[in-house]
Amino acid sequence: MENHSKVANVEVAAILYEVARLLEIKGVRFKPQAYRRAAQAIEALPESIVDVAQEERLNDIPGVGKAIAGHLREIIETGGLEYLASLRAELPDGVQHLTRIEGIGPKKAIALSRELGVRTIDDLEAAALAGRIRDLPGFGEKTEANILTSIRMSRTAEARHLLGKILPVAREIEQRLAALASVSRVSLAGSIRRRKETVGDVDILAASSSPEEVMEAFATLPGVERVLARGTTKTSVVLSTGTQIDLRVVEERHFGAALQYFTGSKEHNIAMRRLAIARNWRLNEYGLTDLETGRAVAGEDEAGVYRALDLAWIEPELREDRGEIEAARAGTLPDLVGYDTIRGDLHVHTTWSEGVHSIEEMAETARALGYEYIAICDHAESLHIARGLSPERLADQVREIERINAGSDGTFTLLSGTECNIGMDGTIDLPDSVLADLDVVVASVHSGFKQSEEEMTERVLTAMQNEHVDIIGHPTGRILLSREPYRIDLATVFEAAAALGVLMEINAVPGRLDLSDINARSARGAGVRFSVASDAHRRENLRFMEFGVATARRGWLSADDIANTRPLPELQKILRS
């Protein structure tokens, strides 16, 4: 089979995602979800989609049937998809772009296009600023104001990438560079190394005595669409996904100082330079130098730069100038939770609600990840869009979990649970008699995001007063690059959570990471304990846990702060307390 040699998994997935989106705009039912599931499966593939196609294994990919497999072959052979082109042609100009703005659905996008000639986001902004949108049927002055707010968020999103989406791509490039004989050391740098929740450009640092050879290999990597700039010390490329990757190559003797410098943050580096200046030293990407003697104090080893300045090692996730340098000097930095210390996942969905994989399949993957337990927390009944479980169906699921546990070898345990909904008045959508029989109860807000701060705060406080609620799920409701957090007095919520023993969730879905790092640190200061959870809706999503742990680390959390770092007997005591 001939193939478009540079097509990457993320490119193929992007085409399927766009097909799904256009079908949704057209009002087609069922098909969008099929294309989206296939795209998610391709994103999670551990091997190249091109290799899978050549070995005639496309139908082995979850969610890929005969029709989608045919589309995949066309994409691999040509780099494009005629079906996608035809869908684009069927819609008025600009409609697809307009529906990316929060609050603009297909009907409104079509009305804006036909009635006002709006084709672009700039057109939309101009129409809103001129007050032309409010008079259209179904819009109004408030909608017009919300559109302007959403446009501002959209423009921020265009320049940023979710950590969970871009980190796998960056790691693949890092691995390809590490495999070059001419590269002695290589590392991600910048905000992606600090594990910020969103990333602009990706920075990579390499050490080599043959920089030209390294740059040639980098500029011709699969997925590189164009080269922005090329030199012997820095080359910048743009991938077909639109992501810019910057590679810097330095001499081995400067690698440690360069890695410290290019990891940042800018504010952290300014504070570090102040310490160097106080000793009459200079700190830059070439090393730490004594200005009086010209002696190189440190530079080859990154940790050596910190030691020379009488600082304990500062993990990259902490380098934001939020007190980490003072803590490093005083020896009071936290022992951050390790990426390998999570023992289980307390928020997992299955086919019983809107998940893709069965209880057994989720359990099998969790065991392969080394977990000791997971909590099955499918949606409760009132979330109809997610096929939520009635009390009767939930009771059936509990019995199924008990049956599976009975056949286990005792090294892994399934916990029964639910993700129930916090109603507008704070009530939970399952009776107490049902909640009492569950091991884990996650309570989350899934609607009514526009309540006032006072109403939302009281709503969540009321939910926490329910003695069966163990965890508040995704506590601010934000969707990164798309939806702002709802208004809520988190200080009051954290105080109550600490007093009641209710865990705050750090939801590890890349588009959520909720609580944020800053909010997690505030909650820790209030004495709150946490659950870091994947909110997995398919097996591959269980690996989202890494991003939740990264957020916890950026929030200065240790393993002791997180309930699911504990063995099952200790976790059960925490949940019962």
DSSP secondary structure letter of residue 350: -
Mean pLDDT of 7-17: 86
- Domain membership of residue 523 (yes or no) is yes
- pLDDT surpassing 70 at residue 262: yes
Domain end residue (candidates: 226, 250, 274): 250
Residue 56 clears pLDDT 80, i.e. is over it:
yes
Residue-wise pLDDT tens digits, 357-385: 999 999 999 999 999 999 999 999 876 66
118 and 79 within one domain: no
pLDDT for position 219? 96
Q: Higher-confidence residue: 495 or 113?
A: 495
Distance (Å, whole) CA 428 – CA 421: 6
- What CATH number does the domain containing 430 carry? 3.20.20.140
Band of pLDDT at residue 4, cut at 50, 70 and 90: very low
522 assigned to some structural domain: yes
DSSP string, 63-115: T--HHHHHHHHHHHHHSS-HHHHHHHHHS-TTHHHHTTSTT--HHHHHHHHHH
pLDDT in tens, 312-353: 999 999 999 999 999 999 999 999 999 999 999 999 999 999
Residue whose structure tokens are 């012997």: 232
**Are residues 44 and 62 both part of a single domain?**
yes
Whether the predicted pLDDT of 46 surpasses 80: no
Asked whether residue 33 carries a pLDDT value surpassing 50, the answer given is yes
Is residue 416 pLDDT above 50, yes or no? Answer: yes
Q: What percent of the chain has pLDDT over 70?
A: 98
Q: What is the pTM of this model?
A: 0.81
DSSP-assigned beta bridge partners for residue 290: 281
Residue 46 is assigned to a structural domain of this protein: yes
Q: Among 422, 570, 440, which Cα is nearest to 503's? A: 440
Instruction: Find the CATH number of the domain harbouring 301.
Output: 3.30.210.10
* 129 and 165, same domain (yes or no): no
* CATH code of the domain in which 168 resides: 3.30.460.10
For residues 42-68, average pLDDT: 88
Q: What is the mean pLDDT of residues 92-107?
A: 81
Residue 114 domain-assigned (yes or no):
yes
Which pLDDT score, from 0 to 100, does residue 199 have?
Answer: 95
CA atoms of 305 and 270, how far apart (whole Å): 14
Average pLDDT over residues 73-86: 92
Whether 233 is covered by a domain: the verdict is: yes
- Tens digit of pLDDT for each residue in 445-460? 999 998 999 999 999 9
- The answer on 451 and 545 residing in a single domain is yes
With b meaning 16 or more CB within 10 Å and e meaning fewer, what string describes 220-231?
A: ebbbbeeeeeee
The alpha carbon of 481 is separated from its chain's Cα centroid by a whole number of angstroms, namely 11
CA dist 60 and 57 (Å) reads 5
Whether residue 153 is found in the same domain as residue 170: no
Co-location of 475 and 394 in the same domain:
yes
Are residues 374 and 499 both part of a single domain? Answer: yes
Q: For position 384, what pLDDT does the model report? A: 62
- Mean of the pLDDT values across residues 275-281? 97
Same domain membership, residue 99 and residue 85: no
Tell me: the pLDDT tens digits for 195-235?
A: 999 999 999 999 999 999 999 999 999 889 899 999 999 99
Tokens describing residue 99: 């529906």
Which residues, at least 6 apart from 76, have a Cβ–Cβ distance to it below 8 Å? 1, 3, 4, 7, 12, 49, 50, 53
Decide if 300 is inside a domain. Answer: yes
Task: Tell me the CATH number at 67.
Answer: 1.10.150.110
The whole-number pLDDT of residue 138 equals 87
Evaluate whether residue 339 is within a structural domain. Answer: no
- pLDDT score recorded for residue 513: 98
* Final residue before a domain boundary, out of 308, 330, 352: 330
Average pLDDT, the chain: 93
**524-536: pLDDT as tens digits:** 999 999 999 999 9
State the total domains in the chain: 5
Q: Where are the alpha helices (DSSP H) in 526-565?
A: 545-554
Same domain, 176 and 220: yes
Side-chain half-sphere of 177: how many Cα atoms within 13 Å?
A: 30
> Which CATH number fits the domain that encloses residue 131?
1.10.150.20
186 & 123 share domain: no
Q: Are residues 317 and 359 in the same domain?
A: no
CA Rg, the chain, in Å? 26
Question: For 509-564, how does the pLDDT look when each residue is reduced to its tens digit (9 = 90+)?
Answer: 999 999 999 999 999 999 999 999 999 999 999 999 999 999 999 999 999 999 99
What is the percent of the chain with per-residue pLDDT over 90, rounded to a whole number?
Answer: 76
Q: Is residue 490 part of a domain?
A: yes
Average pLDDT over residues 420-433: 95
| Final residue belonging to a domain, choices 119, 140, 158 | 158
Residue 406: φ, ψ to 5°? -65, -30
Q: Are 15 and 75 found together in one domain?
A: yes
Domain enclosing residue 79, as ranges: 9-90
List the one residue out of 258, 260, 264 whose CA is nearest residue 208.
Answer: 258
Secondary structure class of 334 (helix, strand, coil): coil
Task: Give the pLDDT confidence of 388-404 residue by residue, as tens digits.
Answer: 899 999 999 999 999 99
- Give pLDDT tens digits for 152-195: 877 766 678 999 999 999 999 999 999 999 999 999 999 999 99
